[in-house]
Structure 1
Amino acid sequence: MTGKTGEISKLSELQDEIRNVLQGNFKKPRWIVAEISDIKENYSGHCYLELVEKDEDSDSLLAKARATIWSSAYRMLKPYFETTTGYELHAGIKIMVAASVEYHPVYGISLNIKDIDPSYTLGDVERKRQEIISRLEKEGVLNMNRETILPEVPQRIAVISSKTAAGYEDFLEQLRNNPYGYKFYTKLYPAAMQGEN
């Protein structure tokens, strides 16, 4: 073997150096903007997330990191976020969090989330809403529903719900057992509902 110049380190020693550099440069939590690509709560109340950043034009992945909200913080941050925004934390939304950078020699870099700013998510949701409205206006379809003449008894019904939501099943049951014997045709458009994990 040739070219062995300089110090030779064990893997664990290299990992310790990396951890020391990271801890030295990231002493305080930092505010970070990212999209949740995956989120799971475990039995002990901890929340595990995968955060991503995507290119706005191509939607290609620019960065990805694991993050944790320990149960002591999660039991406060979760209701705070939900009552402020009206949304649960779920995959697909953008969030702004204060997180410390942690490094483990086996598991690598992760973010320990300490705080969350719900107003950022609300602003992002409103921006997306306005983009959709503008696109619908340009396509000339924004007011199509207002121009549609409804039949006396609409029998084709689009339902936006979770397939497992109790309200969805109740709704279908009411349609099946309507007192007039009308036949209804429903099409489910699956969506995450409040209260689901």
Structure 2
Amino acid sequence: MQAFDQIQELWQKHEVEVKVSADEMLQQAKKEVNGLKLKSALNIFGMLASFIAIAALWIFMHFESWTTHVGISITIVAIGVYTLILYRDHRLIAKNDATAHPHEYLNNLKTYQLNRFKLYNSLYWFYAIALSLGIIFYFIEILTYLSMPQKVAAIVLTFSWILFCSTILRKAVMSREKERIALLIEKFERISGQISVTE
């Protein structure tokens, strides 16, 4: 056992210095940035698809109650505003080349990180409340066409899904994205440090 402790102590004292050039780090960071851009773009396209689907439903379906029109318009406005916020944040990480201007990109990435924090916290709740209100107004007319078990199923499934997205899913996405952006910021800080040293 004593021999194992000595080997472990020797191993802990042994330091290996790994040198990665700024160019290699930039290439790794660029790969991760492209992944972040793709995810952001997919979120925007998903929101646009939802916007178009709900707008098409509103245009091509005949609704008799004014509450249905109010519900759909609240939902469309909420999705539209949220999509614009996502697009604004996407432009922060997509407007310039990360490898050409690492200092500027680092600042944009930090702003993006703050915006995402706001988006997943305070702004998300406005979005969830607006969607819930829209659905409630929409359901006033739609539920009249359903039987009692269908009404209960529609209400329970809809609000369970909203609750699931607002709690478990939101927290999981938030922590994963927070970690990913923090690692990217750390990489760009190291790259900026290496570039400053070489200049």
Under a length normalisation based on structure 1, what TM-score does the superposition of the two structures give? 0.25
Which structure has the higher relative contact order (CA within 8 Å, separation 6+)?
2
Under a length normalisation based on structure 2, what TM-score does the superposition of the two structures give? 0.25
More strand by share: 1
More helix by share: 2
